[in-house]
Amino acid sequence: MIHIKTKIERPSPELIEPFSKLGAATVHEASGRKGAVDPAIKPIRKGLRLCGPAFTVQCAPGDNLMLHKALEKAQPGDVLVASVSGYPEGGYFGGLMAVSAMARRLGGLAIDGCIRDSEEIIAMGFPIFARGFCIRGTSKSVPGLVNHPTVFGGIVVQPGDLILGDDDGMVVVARAEAESVLEKALKRVEAEVKKSEQLRSGVSSVELNKLGKVFEALGLVEE
């Protein structure tokens, strides 16, 4: 069995760049409401964004050995997407690892677990989405997997899938669908601009969304 795969297909930079300007909620809707990650996984501070190809990591419970290997093998712009075998209560990623990640110009970390040295990492500006913070140390002795399909926040992530995150949450876009999702997302943004103009003119959201018939069908009585 190959534990560590280093060659993965990624979306092109020309495809990733416009995604970086879109909101996660917009992309989720454009994806057909697929790929929404467990909202308990949040940015470690407000204003952080993730956008890049997934470099997946599967760690054993309480062990961060494979995160170190992923730091070594990931390419600039990659987002480490780490699962921790259902055991989030450990500081799987800390300040020194963040220093390494920034030196190697990685796009960020998304971990279905906790990190530590949060104040230091926040000051560095390295973008991380995590379940929280934990001071418990981890071992470096148990093998795992790099760049295999992994379940992250309830979503199956394939290496090279597009990862997008902002203050509202995270969404995973399958690499093969990224181009079509981008097209739909841009059209959605354009449509929302027009809707905003109508709402500013005083049109109600009920009228704009044609909800009158919905209320009528539900039998709602207005006095």
Domains and CATH numbers, the chain: 13-176 (3.50.30.40), 184-217 (no CATH)
Per-residue model confidence (pLDDT) at position 69: 98
The dihedrals phi and psi of 181, each to the nearest 5 degrees, come to -65, -40
Distance from C-alpha of 182 to C-alpha of 126, rounded to nearest angstrom: 26
Helix axis angle, 65-73 relative to 95-103, nearest 10°?
20
CB-CB contact of 79 with 52 (8 Å): yes
Distance from C-alpha of 192 to C-alpha of 75, rounded to nearest angstrom: 35
Q: State which amino acid sits at residue 107.
A: G
Per-residue model confidence (pLDDT) at position 1: 86
The dihedrals phi and psi of 43, each to the nearest 5 degrees, come to -65, 145
Per-residue model confidence (pLDDT) at position 141: 97
pLDDT-derived band at 222 (thresholds 50, 70, 90) equals: confident
Section 185-194 average pLDDT: 95
Per-residue model confidence (pLDDT) at position 44: 98
Residue ranges in the chain assigned as alpha helix (H): 13-19, 24-30, 65-73, 95-103, 118-124, 178-200, 205-208, 212-217
pLDDT tens readout for residues 60-115: 999 999 999 999 999 999 999 999 999 999 999 999 999 999 999 999 999 999 99
pLDDT tens readout for residues 117-174: 999 999 999 999 999 999 999 999 999 999 999 999 999 999 999 999 999 999 999 9
- Compute the CA torsion angle 70, 71, 73, 78 (nearest 10 deg): 90
Residue 223 reports pLDDT greater than 90? no
Distance set, CA 208 to CA 75, 192, 195, 203, 218 (Å): 46, 11, 8, 7, 19
Residue 14 reports pLDDT greater than 90? yes
Per-residue model confidence (pLDDT) at position 5: 97
Distance from C-alpha of 199 to C-alpha of 62, rounded to nearest angstrom: 51
Distance from C-alpha of 94 to C-alpha of 121, rounded to nearest angstrom: 8
Q: State which amino acid sits at residue 49.
A: R
Residue ranges in 20-87 assigned as alpha helix (H): 24-30, 65-73
Distance from C-alpha of 94 to C-alpha of 86, rounded to nearest angstrom: 19
- Structure tokens that stand for 19 in this block: 């995604």
Q: State which amino acid sits at residue 63.
A: D
Q: State which amino acid sits at residue 15.
A: L
Distance from C-alpha of 127 to C-alpha of 130, rounded to nearest angstrom: 10
